[in-house]
Amino acid sequence: MQYKSYLVEQNLESIKEKIILFFGENLGLINEFKNKIKKSSENCKIIRLSQEEILKNNSILLNEITNLSLFEEKKILFINNTTDKILEIVNEIEEIIKDQKIYFFADVLDKRSKLRNHFETSINCSAIACYNDNELGMRKLIQSKLKEFSGLSPYNISLILDSCNLDRTKLSNEISKIYTFFEDKKLDTEKLERLLNLRENDDFNKLKDEALLGNRTQTNKLLADTLLSPEKNALYLNTINQRLVKILEISKNNEDDIEIAVNKLKPPIFWKDKPKVILQAKKWNQEKIQTILKKTYDLEVEIKSNALSNKNILIKKLLVDVCELANS
């Protein structure tokens, strides 16, 4: 049996089957489902097992299912990191399961997956695909999570969306910060920007983007104007690396149309960044990307291992190198 994830989000009890599979690339959504299951099963004992443990000794799982006592807490089983290898054991479980619910969790399973096909077609099982969120879905999610707040304008929703880059785990962290900071449940745009560190992060992102585009004039101006925080050097290097890795994925896609290659990226590029990424992809080939990735790695090692007085100079020097290589 197949269920749509958005319907299960609204009503977990809509799943009637006892053996359930959550799978897909959206780990944030899968973790949210785990939390929902735990909250709805507060009087139950959660037993966590991995596929590796079960394949070594399947009696661990079978005993949890068959050994029931009137005096024992009701049990729910979480089976993590599952693949097609566990399908035979799933068939065994279907023959013996009684009152428990067993939840299997997996990463991406393509349409050829035997495990996925079994859960989608068996009358005793159910499957919920957890695909990456799109912008519209995330906007609705933010509205839902902050529905008690005043000041939830389209602009403020965009600020929160910018800070999490379509990542549910990041969004969950940002929502927690908002609930803690805005105790009166009244959103203020200026305070929200500061809370999410958007102004400072935005300055560095502009600098990074201009360097990757090879815009010498803008890069030099931003290098002079941008104040970098020493404690964020690792974040700066990671930000550069993440963009270069995305551009590398685009170049390996073998698409004649770069825009099509950009649209195929998983997780997707945030809509505001797409035009820049398309232009940057035209500037960078795989050899140049690998050169800068090595430089960022070497610089990270140097920063961590040496007590340098002004590490920010090294970050800025790296961005100058990036800008020059973009033009080579």
**Does residue 271 have a pLDDT over 90?**
no
Q: 147 is in which domain, residue-wise?
A: 135-195
Q: Report how far residue 160's alpha carbon sits from residue 175's, in angstroms, rounded to the nearest whole number.
A: 8
If asked whether residues 260 and 245 sit together in one domain, one would say yes
pTM for the whole structure:
0.63
pLDDT of residue 201: 63
Q: Report how far residue 87's alpha carbon sits from residue 74's, in angstroms, rounded to the nearest whole number.
A: 25
**Does residue 214 have a pLDDT over 60?**
yes
Q: Which two tokens stand for residue 145?
A: 């999570």
Q: What confidence tier does 198 reach under pLDDT thresholds 50, 70, 90?
A: low
**What CATH number is associated with residue 46?**
3.40.50.300
**Does residue 77 have a pLDDT over 70?**
yes
Q: Do residues 208 and 239 make contact, with C-beta atoms less than 8 angstroms apart?
A: yes
pLDDT in tens, 81-134: 999 999 999 999 998 888 789 999 999 999 999 999 999 999 999 999 999 888
Q: Do residues 19 and 97 make contact, with C-beta atoms less than 8 angstroms apart?
A: yes
Q: Report how far residue 225's alpha carbon sits from residue 244's, in angstroms, rounded to the nearest whole number.
A: 24
Closest among 105, 58, 56 to 79, alpha carbons compared:
105
If asked whether residues 157 and 223 sit together in one domain, one would say no
pLDDT of residue 115: 97
If asked whether residues 95 and 160 sit together in one domain, one would say no
If asked whether residues 219 and 190 sit together in one domain, one would say no
If asked whether residues 38 and 142 sit together in one domain, one would say no
pLDDT of residue 256: 74
pLDDT of residue 258: 86
More confident residue, 231 or 324: 324
Q: What confidence tier does 239 reach under pLDDT thresholds 50, 70, 90?
A: confident
If asked whether residues 298 and 232 sit together in one domain, one would say yes
If asked whether residues 203 and 322 sit together in one domain, one would say yes
Instruction: Pick the range with the lowest mean pLDDT from 31-45, 86-100, 302-316.
Output: 302-316
pLDDT of residue 161: 87
For the chain, the average pLDDT equals 88
If asked whether residues 86 and 158 sit together in one domain, one would say no
Q: Three-state SS for 35? A: helix
Last residue of a domain, one of 129, 148, 169: 129
Q: What confidence tier does 135 reach under pLDDT thresholds 50, 70, 90?
A: confident
Question: How large is the average pLDDT for residues 173-178?
Answer: 92
Q: What confidence tier does 313 reach under pLDDT thresholds 50, 70, 90?
A: confident
Number of domains in the chain: 3
Q: Report how far residue 294's alpha carbon sits from residue 165's, in angstroms, rounded to the nearest whole number.
A: 25
Order across the sheet with 19-23: list the strands: 2-3, 125-129, 19-23, 101-106, 74-80, 44-50
Q: Do residues 119 and 125 make contact, with C-beta atoms less than 8 angstroms apart?
A: yes
If asked whether residues 188 and 209 sit together in one domain, one would say no
Last residue of a domain, one of 107, 129, 151: 129
Instruction: Pick the range with the lowest mean pLDDT from 96-110, 162-176, 302-316.
Output: 302-316
pLDDT of residue 267: 67
Q: What confidence tier does 307 reach under pLDDT thresholds 50, 70, 90?
A: low
- Within the chain, residue ranges assigned H as helices are 5-10, 27-40, 51-56, 59-66, 87-96, 114-121, 135-145, 154-164, 168-181, 189-195, 198-213, 216-225, 233-252, 258-263, 274-283, 286-305, 311-326
If asked whether residues 81 and 11 sit together in one domain, one would say yes
If asked whether residues 215 and 288 sit together in one domain, one would say yes
**What CATH number is associated with residue 185?**
1.10.8
pLDDT in tens, 240-266: 988 999 999 898 877 678 888 888 887
pLDDT of residue 200: 59
In the numeric block, the tokens 């799109």 are attached to 134
Last residue of a domain, one of 129, 152, 170: 129
Which range of 62-76, 219-233, 239-253 scores highest in mean pLDDT? It is 239-253
**What CATH number is associated with residue 290?**
1.20.272.10
